[in-house]
Amino acid sequence: MSTITAKTQKLSIVQAVTDGLRTVMKEQEEVLVLGEDVGKNGGVFRATEGLQEQFGPDRVIDTPLSESGIVGTAIGLAINGFLPVVEMQFLGFIYPAYEQIMTHATRIRMRTLSHFHVPLVIRAPYGAGVKAPEIHSDSVEALFTHMPGIKVVCPSNPYDAKGLLIASIDDPDPVLFLEPMRSYRAFKDEVPTDRYTVEIGKASLVEEGTDLTLIAWGAMVPLAVKAAQKVRVQNIHCDVLDLRTLYPLDKEMIAESVQKTGRAVIVHEAHATSGLGTDIIALIQDTSFLYLKSPIQRVTGFDVPVPFYTLEQHYLPNEDRIIEAIHKAIQF
């Protein structure tokens, strides 16, 4: 992590995203923001509010309603020296752009033998919990972690949001920057006013314990922390890992923690089948099988489309389901 000054400000996650964008746009004229309603309206969640007024419509660009066109244009800008930051209004809207991302953005470095790079950031609010309509609440990060050539990051707090966003814009290759929208304005933390980065590919040890490893990311991290704090009174002490980067995973920290505790619970709101949790289980089996004291547990969303409104909370992992999984792992 780069050196930072002591001066900070209290920001929410969405404010930290805005501050990160403003920081790099002041420094580098090559940074452009593109997306539907990102300019005059400041984005659907107001993450780009005030940026068009400050930097002008040539750098904060309102686009047509065409995700494939937005990403395709941004790829062309990226290989020609610009640093585009694309906003998808919701992760569930990214599917029309999937072909551009997987066929072109992720492959151009290899295709051109590194003569061209694609320094493209795609920001996407994701996840359920805000009672949004269909296709607005998807958590399909595993679709993108399967393809080499694109990094996938997911902050859970304001400090990481700004630092990871700046690191993503600095990166010479494509980055999908997932923003847990249920956490956008849920709380505020101290965030440095100056430029700093959080290293891509490094997880964070949020809570420390010896009995079990809880692994989570995004909006699931606060839930995992609360569950860990509740079981502490039962003399169960958990490591809580915030992955922060979903591809590439911090294999070393995961293995080190599981080898210390001998037990693991993975929490994610994506569907269970082929979710990222299965890859983490495989990683633990490869690196730490002989250290395990009990089967690895998962707490996930269910294999159904994210349901509407009144059923949404039944779909999402919660503290009770996490605590139940912890007790199941501990009982062995």
The catalytic residues are 136
If you write DSSP's letter for every residue of 177-244 in order, what string do you get?
Answer: EEEEGGGTTT--EEEESS-----TT--EEEE--SSEEEEE-TTHHHHHHHHHHHHHTTT--EEEEE--
- Please, are residues 276 and 262 in contact by the beta-carbon 8 Å criterion? no
Query: String of b and e for 7-29 (b: at least 16 CB within 10 Å)?
Result: eeeebbbbbbbbbbbbbbbeeee
Question: Measured between alpha carbons, how far is residue 112 from residues 118, 187, 323 in Å?
Answer: 11, 44, 49
Residue 86: beta bridge partners? 34, 122
Give me the amino acid identity at 160: D
- Strand ranges inside the chain, DSSP E: 8-11, 31-35, 60-62, 83-87, 121-126, 151-153, 175-180, 189-192, 204-207, 212-216, 238-242, 245-247, 264-271, 297-301
Give residues with Cβ within 8 angstroms of 24, minimum separation 6. 31, 83, 166, 169, 195
Structure tokens at 271: 């569907």
